[in-house]
């Protein structure tokens, strides 16, 4: 005998949405950061309350979404890090870049490309392979104005997988910002992005406050 609620109109199985997943991750990351900061500063901490409010908002939003038919956009939404943007040539959504690699990519683009739009051909910068003080493989950003910054290989690897960086072997082994990376940075700047956490609002609103 079928369940009585199996034929209720409006309800449907939720589909995987990388934007929603990433937004949840960003919200959780913000709560953890605030908890640590408040504890170190000797301030009162209400992390349980913050989690409760976030879960309540997620429940309400999920209930509202369940009343709507699944959209074609959600059914075909690309998975974060799946390489679909690289294969399609479309800029990578800023929110889909993992947090630590996103911070690194922001630094690389800021000092290698600047904030001018459109990105000029003379803008340049690259990463050279180095070893960290602990002996692990890493990279060092060498920018157009002489700025240098060390970056771990584990931080850079997701940017390579997303196609935001490309390897070059002449005149030496290095990584450079790919055309996809330039397009991604240009769209970030055009949308008003200033800092790495911009355009990653859990509410889905891409505008910078």
Work out the average pLDDT over 71-97.
60
The C-alpha atoms of residue 209 and residue 199 are separated, in whole angstroms, by 9
Work out the average pLDDT over 180-189.
94
Work out the average pLDDT over 149-175.
91
In the structure, how many helices (H) and strands (E) does the chain have? 7, 5
* Whole-number percent of the chain with pLDDT over 90: 34
Sheet (strand 165-168) strand order: 148-152, 137-143, 125-131, 174-177, 165-168
Q: Say what angle helices 99-112 and 153-161 make with each other, to 10 degrees.
A: 80
pTM of the model: 0.62
Please state which of the ranges 66-75, 87-96, 176-185 shows the lowest mean pLDDT.
66-75
Supply the pLDDT for residue 144: 75
Per DSSP, the three-state class of 48 is helix
Q: Tell me the CB-side half-sphere exposure of residue 39, using CA atoms within 13 A.
A: 8
Supply the pLDDT for residue 162: 94
- Please determine, for residue 163, whether its predicted confidence score (pLDDT) is greater than 90: yes
Measure Cα distances from 208 to 18, 36, 60, 113, 117 in Å.
Answer: 20, 25, 24, 21, 18
Work out the average pLDDT over 63-75.
58
Work out the average pLDDT over 51-73.
66
Supply the pLDDT for residue 18: 59
Mark out the alpha helices in 6-146 (DSSP H runs). Answer: 18-40, 47-66, 72-75, 84-88, 99-112
Q: Choose between 98 and 89: higher pLDDT.
A: 98
Supply the pLDDT for residue 202: 56
Confidence of residue 75 (pLDDT cuts 50, 70, 90): very low
CB atoms within 10 A of CB 155: 17
Q: In this structure, what is the dihedral angle of CA atoms 94, 99, 82, 129, given to the nearest 10 degrees?
A: 110
Q: Choose between 49 and 104: higher pLDDT.
A: 104
Supply the pLDDT for residue 24: 65
Hey, which of 18-22, 59-63, 82-86, 173-177 has the most confident mean pLDDT? Answer: 173-177
* Token code pair at residue 132: 């960290």
Report angle CA 132, 137, 139 to the nearest 5 degrees. Answer: 75
The C-alpha atoms of residue 196 and residue 209 are separated, in whole angstroms, by 14
């Amino acid at each position: 005998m079928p369940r009585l609620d199996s034929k209720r109109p409006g309800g449907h199985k939720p589909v995987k949405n990388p934007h929603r997943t990433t937004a949840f991750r960003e919200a959780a990351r913000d709560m953890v950061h605030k908890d640590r900061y408040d504890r170190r500063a000797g301030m009162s901490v209400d992390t349980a309350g913050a989690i409760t409010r976030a879960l309540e908002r997620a429940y309400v939003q999920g209930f509202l979404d369940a009343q709507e038919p699944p959209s074609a956009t959600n059914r075909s939404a690309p998975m974060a890090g799946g390489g679909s943007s690289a294969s399609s040539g479309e800029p990578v959504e800023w929110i889909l870049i993992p947090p630590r690699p996103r911070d690194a990519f922001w630094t690389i683009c800021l000092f290698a490309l600047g904030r001018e739009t459109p990105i000029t051909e003379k803008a340049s910068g690259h990463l050279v392979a180095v070893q960290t003080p602990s002996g692990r493989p890493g990279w060092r950003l060498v920018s157009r104005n002489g700025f240098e910054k060390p970056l771990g290989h584990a931080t850079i690897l997701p940017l390579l997988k997303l196609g935001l960086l490309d390897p070059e072997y002449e005149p030496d082994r290095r990584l450079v910002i790919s055309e996809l990376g330039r397009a991604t940075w240009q769209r970030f700047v055009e949308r008003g992005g200033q800092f790495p956490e911009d355009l990653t609002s859990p509410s889905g609103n891409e505008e910078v406050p």
